[in-house]
Homo-oligomer: A and B are copies of this chain.
Amino acid sequence: MTGVTISGVGITPFESDAERSALELATAASEDALDDAACSLEAVDSVHVGNVLTEALDVQGGLANAFVSAVGLEGVRADRIENTSASGASATHRGVEAVASGASDVAVVVGVEKMSDADTSTVTDAISKLTHGREYVQGITLPSFGGLAAGAYLDRYDAPREALAEVAVKNHENAVDNDIAQFQKEVSVEDALDSPVVADPLRLYDCCPMTDGAAAVVLERESDAEGVHVRSIGSATGTHAVAERPDPIEIESVSRASERTFADANLSRNDVDVACIHDAFTVLELLELEEIGFFERGTAWEATMRGETARDGAFPVNPGGGLKARGHPLGATGLSQVVELVWQLRGDLRGDRQVAGAETGFAVNVAGFGNNSVCTLLEAP
């Protein structure tokens, strides 16, 4: 109902890219999106950049302005949107609003992160500081929250540890034929269960990697261009301190944001054919699927083990590999979900990589540990 269409998409390989800077990655993805949209630079009038870490990693301030110059778009309106790991979807939200409101005719939204610009401890320290100060000083980081939630989930629903491993196995399998994915390799349940402990019960293969990459979309009014329709996009915040939540494995920002998004589109969960879920940790895929209402509480793990969320299952989830295997370049992730859905809804993909008959796609991009969630509903051209 927004009247906004995605006329083009672009994405770089998600990997550890020693060669290209954040600016170069963002430029490459945007140029690909403009090519895909058959849109000239001259037509663009707004730029929305999603990015998290440039200042923390001490590389480039004013990234939106640097990007506009790098890509040759001086003159347009531009700014940077930061919403931690949901910066990409928030930037998309702002771009959609710019076009829907008539403020912009053609918007370029680009999300980018260059996580290999600094050593791992610098990056993890910066990411850890998005948690609440009272929790951060106690050493509780995002993996800690993930581990606590995973333990609580398995315990409450009497689920086996293999249920989490199956999420990783599925997402790795989906990434094997995704050319831009960071890990184009399968892992077995045994690999996952034997990998090193990160935050018990989460192990290495339950956690997304550090990734460099950029993804971009071109947005235009439906009356002006062909493309995948943005049915709605909605967001909501939650409590900042996880300890303040009534139930540690409920993520209210996800339920609120998804309710707003379905209501705004006048669609129901049953209308969705394919979903991209923010699986920064395997347990989050299960929690979010239930929080959104795609599965009843306590049942997503069984559905996963039955193969329902596989690419050829009844409800394909993360067909491009998710954050787990495609990779998680923070500011680019929300855009990479949209790019994956656009490919699926346009029927661009070949063989098993294509979800058959996908007409309606859903994505959720989550900031911090459920601090802020952004949902997007897209419809085939």
The distance in angstroms between the C-alpha atoms of A79 and B82, with both chains bound, is 6
Interface of A is mostly: mixed
The distance in angstroms between the C-alpha atoms of A90 and B80, with both chains bound, is 9
The distance in angstroms between the C-alpha atoms of A47 and B56, with both chains bound, is 23
Query: How close is A56's CB to chain B, nearest CB, in angstroms?
Result: 4
Q: Mark A77-120, 1 if CB is under 8 A from B, else 0.
A: 11111111001001001100110110100000000000000000
Pick from B68, B94, B240: contact of A237, CB below 8 A: B68
Query: How close is A9's CB to chain B, nearest CB, in angstroms?
Result: 22
Pick from B55, B75, B241: contact of A55, CB below 8 A: B55
Asked if A130 CB lies within 8 Å of chain B CBs, one says yes
Are B84 and A61 in contact, CB atoms less than 8 angstroms apart? yes
Size of A's binding interface in residues, CB under 8 A: 60
Closest to A76 in B: B237
Closest to A245 in B: B74
Are A69 and B240 in contact, CB atoms less than 8 angstroms apart? yes
Are A239 and B56 in contact, CB atoms less than 8 angstroms apart? no
Asked if A60 CB lies within 8 Å of chain B CBs, one says yes
Are A372 and B64 in contact, CB atoms less than 8 angstroms apart? yes
Are A81 and B80 in contact, CB atoms less than 8 angstroms apart? yes
Are B56 and A84 in contact, CB atoms less than 8 angstroms apart? no
Which 6 residue pairs are nearest across A and B when measured between Cβ atoms? A69-B240, A61-B130, A101-B101, A62-B130, A55-B56, A65-B371
